[in-house]
Amino acid sequence: MDNRTQIIEIIRRVAGKEPPAAADESLFDSGVLDSFGLQDLVTELEHIFDVKIPDGDLTPRKFESIERIERYLEEHGK
């Protein structure tokens, strides 16, 4: 399973909603995630992708869209 597919599955599980079809569409503006969901999303990303996301990175802007989440994991993953 590729990263994008895993990210989409995590969003579905955490939000209980379908993420936007466009990878660059905001998860927050579309109502899929809110600030509470962000923490759950980050916890799942850390677990599934074996990364540590520092508290300083817990901003909606860094995890705004599927595309941004992919980029973040590429830059900070192992």
pLDDT tens digits for 28-78? Answer: 999 999 988 999 999 999 999 999 999 999 999 999 999 999 999 999 976
State the pTM of this model: 0.93
Q: How many residues are recorded in the chain?
A: 78
pLDDT tens digits for 30-43? Answer: 999 998 899 999 99
- The pLDDT of residue 1: 81
Measured between its terminal Cα atoms, the distance across the chain in Å is: 17
Residue 24 has pLDDT above 90, yes or no: yes
- The pLDDT of residue 35: 87
Give the CATH number of the domain where residue 64 resides.
Answer: 1.10.1200.10
Nearest CA to 62 out of 22, 27, 14, 31 is that of 27
How many domains is the chain partitioned into structurally?
1
